[in-house]
Amino acid sequence: MNREILLGLVLLAVAPLVASGPRGTVPKAAANRYPSHAEKDSVSVGAALLTSDEVRKTFVSEVNRCCVVVEVALYPPKDKPQPVSLDDFAVRVMGSETAVKPSSAKVVAASIQKSAESQRDVTVSPSVGVGHESGTYVDPVTGARTSGHGTYTEVGVAVGIGEPGSHSGSSERDRDTMQTELSEKGLPEGTASAPVAGYLYFPLTKKKNTTLQLECALNGNKVVLTLP
Amino acid sequence: MAARVLLLITLLFSPPMLLCAIPQQASTTVQQESAVSAVSASSKQAGEQAPAAAKTDDKVQKDAKSPQKIHVRLGTISFGFGYSYFSGPYYYPYRLYGFYPYGLGYPVVFCDPLWCAPASLLSPAYSGSLAYAADKGEVKLTADPKTAEVYIDGAYAGTADHLKTMWLDSGAYDLSVSAKGRKEFRQRIYILSRKSLKILARLEPEKEPDAVGETEVKP
């Protein structure tokens, strides 16, 4: 009985940690389902570079503003859990000497918020009005009853200038939300005994006609995947 | 009488124009955002070419000096038509200014719907905690069947046909839509202020207990 209570208490203590931790994405059936894949020491890895359009559809946060997003999936052998860490990954522009490590969700969210803070919305609203009026009145000079009519037009333009920081994603609360989203969709760190997948956020901009390479260290062995 | 006709005409024209203007604004904003991101991207590309040591200093200086980026978007376009008839003993010149759109339809039509639109004109769902506020985000929910029950973080929010548009505070929520005889739809949603999210919840019929067969695994 006491053992059951103890187990229940442990589960209660662990539950929030598990619930709040990163969840990643659902890994595909096999690594070869990803555009780039490799296997080393019976550990398979698959990767896919997301286009700007895919990033826009996948994330509410405007990740395109700061980062290149790569979906990575790891398939460890059943009897050998695989440690997963962001430090094990890097992206390099093919032919370049410098590689970029992925940023944490916190850093990416802060970067997006900073970018949003510097934006100011200006709204331009045009308006057009046309009116016609007719009637009779007594002329105060002659005393005669006179009829008159007129057509009138109105044209207006209103310009509304929003305050800095009024853009979506600029508030502290938005930053927390973005961090939550990026963290929950990011590649889960820790020890994986089953296939895991998630997104990595690399703080660089992909130029046209350049090819990126994903480098990952699997149990000390370097694996290079070319991202199409 | 004529003034009433004028008012009526203006008000008749106003709500449809207001509603038409909303998607126009949204699309304009998205396009401009992508343009700005392209600008920021190109500026970052330029920064990458600099040596690593100097890059940090340059970035700090650039951040300090960088002017604010401006998003220009088209607001509501309003049109007004009016007719009035006057009849009086004396001439009143000011009356000849005639139709004055700013006094009639203008406050209704001209308001930016994201900031000051009258709630009753935009959606019937604008009540209670799901009501519009400037710092909230919009959820446009389309569900099949329309009578499905909507739950946000496990709490009942209403039926889908009454929750086509919801405004939620910035944050992450667990949205679920359920109906009798249908599979439950679940989705984790992230809401940012002043941003719109479209969700299509199509609830598939539950399989009969006897018809247990293949299980669909979504990658």
Domain coordinates of chain A in residue numbers? 23-117+170-227, 122-161
Residues of B in contact with A133 (CB under 8 A): 83-86, 95-96, 98-99
Q: Is the peptide bond before B145 cis (omega within 30 degrees of 0)?
A: yes
Amino acid A128: pLDDT: 87
Identify all chain B residues contacting A152, using CB atoms and an 8 Å cutoff: 96-99
* B205 contact partners, CB below 8 Å, separation of at least 6: B181, B182, B183
What ipTM, to 2 d.p.?
Answer: 0.75
> Which of A 111-140 lie inside 8 A of B, CB atoms?
115, 118-140
Mean pLDDT of A213-222: 89
Whole-number Å distance between alpha carbons of B93 and A182: 64
* More confident: A55 or B215: A55
Threshold 0.95, pTM exceeds: no
First to last CA, chain B: 66
Residues of A in contact with B45 (CB under 8 A): 205, 207
- Cβ neighbours of B48 in A, within 8 Å: 204-205
Q: Determine the pLDDT at residue B29.
A: 34
B112 near A123, Cβ under 8 Å? yes
Query: Are B109 and A118 in contact (CB < 8 Å)?
Result: no
If phi > 0 it is left, if psi is from -120 to 50 it is alpha, else beta; for residue B109 that is: alpha
pLDDT for residue B143 is more than 50: yes
Contact status of B43 with chain A (Cβ, < 8 Å): no
User: Domain map of chain B by residue range?
Assistant: 2-110, 123-202
Cross-strand partners of B161:
none
pLDDT in tens, A13-43: 444 444 445 578 999 999 999 999 999 888 9
DSSP classification of residue A43: E
Q: Does B194 touch chain A (CB under 8 A)?
A: yes
Helix (H) or strand (E) holding A84: strand A82-84
Please list every residue in chain A whose beta carbon sits closer than 8 Å to the beta carbon of residue B42.
205
Q: How many CB atoms lie within 10 A of CB B159?
A: 16
**Chain-centre distance of CA A30, in angstroms?**
25
* Domain A23-117+170-227 CATH class label: mainly beta
pLDDT in tens, B160-196: 999 999 999 999 999 999 999 999 999 999 999 989 9
pLDDT-derived band at B134 (thresholds 50, 70, 90) equals confident
Alpha-helical segments (H) within B49-115: 52-65, 106-110
**Which pLDDT score is estimated for B10?**
52
Return the SS3 of A159.
Answer: strand
Tell me how close the Cα of A22 comes to any Cα of chain B, in angstroms. 13
CA–chain centroid gap for A58, Å, is: 7
pLDDT exceeds cutoff 80 at B99: no
Least Cα separation, residue A117 to chain B (angstroms): 9
State CA B61 to chain mean position distance. Answer: 36
Q: Which range has the worst mean pLDDT, A133-137, B10-14, B65-69?
A: B10-14
- Predicted confidence at residue B88, as pLDDT, reads 66
A131 to A147, A148, B136: CA distances (angstroms): 17, 14, 39
Residues 164..183 of B with a Cβ closer than 8 Å to A: which?
169-172
CATH T-level assignment (fold) for domain B123-202: Immunoglobulin-like (2.60.40)
8-state DSSP, A220:
T
Mention every residue, 6+ apart, whose C-beta is less than 8 A from residue B218. Answer: A26
The confidence score (pLDDT) of residue B97 equals: 46
A223 pairs with which residues across the strands? A216
Q: Does B4 touch chain A (CB under 8 A)?
A: no
Contact (CB, 8 A) for A68 and A91: yes
